[in-house]
A = this chain, B = another copy of it.
């Protein structure tokens, strides 16, 4: 098992286990101080081994994005699962959700009266074992209803025979420079209004769930009961550039080799097929180099990262460098395993068991 980093093929996704453990413990302590449950989003790591570390640190359960992610984590013994998604149960998904109920406690997202009625109809008697949360749009404008309409959806769900546990939101507009405090305030306001909307129809929310890695430091704990950050476990270049993490907190990198000096630049073998192609308009490049903060990936293709170097001579051909993906969730989903490293030595290999679990 143990191997020197320089014996690994490149590109390989490495996880620094010490940084990872610190990130997990710090978020758990933060949620604890705030008096909030922590239900980390497992879409980031897709790895039962990392989920086990989160639960050992106090996570109450996991968030997932798809039924197939729920299947993978349930099979690995992580059985308290919230599918934080506006589910539309077609026949295939309904069949799988029913099977999951035999081995997991499920909370499901809904964002319309039609979806709630569909869910109840498809699950029939099995629906009794499920808790639903109404998704609310707190300003990201992706999915979810306006806060004032949460009661309408809750009422429809309840009349269809579903248990309504409360509301949830994803304040994804926190992924924008300097937006985090304002977004967290918007999130809190939306959740309070949504909870009031549920009470208006006679439903007392026991779960009010939100949070995103960029905005979590600004959490309004009085507005919610639960946090669902995902990216915080590993960190990534987006968080670095938003100022919501620092390089010493970044646990995951793509170990890569300098293959060319074409044009006087540094060409690495870590391309979009291992670090992902995410590039928000505000990012300064297609990823960063952990140990060279001034360098920038100015061109990214499937197997090339072209780096402009800012400091001294470029590293030699064959040198190994650590690339920080812009969006770590999409990078992890490109590999079958993560290589866990402690003090420069490989200590474990963690299967990305839910890689490709989209359905």
Contacts and interface: CB of A to CB of B under 8 A. Distances in A.
Interface of A: 7-12, 43, 65-66, 85-88, 90-93, 111-112, 114-115, 118, 137, 141-145, 172, 257-263, 267, 269, 271-274, 276-279, 299, 301-304, 306, 317-318, 327, 329-330, 333-336, 356, 358-359
A145 B262 contact: yes
Given A9-B93, A86-B262, A88-B259, A302 B318 contact: no
B330 A272 contact: yes
A292 to B, nearest CB: 19
A206 to B, nearest CB: 24
A257 B334 contact: no
Contacts of A85: 259, 303
21 contacts: A8-B92, A10-B90, A43-B303, A86-B259, A86-B267, A88-B257, A88-B258, A88-B269, A115-B259, A115-B260, A118-B317, A137-B262, A142-B262, A145-B262, A272-B330, A273-B330, A273-B358, A277-B330, A302-B330, A334-B356, A334-B358
Nearest to A172: B301
Nearest to A91: B7
Kindly list the 9 A-B residue pairs having the minimum CB-CB distance in the complex, ordered from nearest: A9-B359, A88-B259, A86-B260, A277-B278, A277-B277, A143-B262, A9-B92, A143-B260, A65-B303
A313 to B, nearest CB: 14
Given A65-B302, A86-B267, A118 B260 contact: no
A281 to B, nearest CB: 9
Contacts of A301: 142, 172
- How many copies the complex holds: the figure is 2
A356 B329 contact: no
A173 to B, nearest CB: 10
- Most B Cβ at <10 Å: residue of A118, A259, A267: A259
B88 A299 contact: no
Contacts of A257: 88, 90
A12 B358 CA distance: 9
Nearest to A9: B359
A6 B12 CA distance: 38
A65 B87 CA distance: 38
Contact of A279 (B142, B271, B279, B304): B279
A90 B6 CA distance: 10
A317 B112 contact: yes
B336 A356 contact: yes
A139 to B, nearest CB: 11
Given A271-B358, A272-B330, A274-B358, 7 more contacts: A10-B359, A66-B303, A111-B262, A137-B262, A144-B262, A269-B358, A302-B329
A107 to B, nearest CB: 17
A263 B142 CA distance: 8
A351 to B, nearest CB: 13
A43 B86 contact: no
A329 B302 CA distance: 8
A298 to B, nearest CB: 9
Contact of A90 (B274, B318, B333): B318
A190 to B, nearest CB: 13
Nearest to A115: B317
Contacts of A299: 141-142
Contacts of A358: 11, 269, 271, 273-274, 303, 334
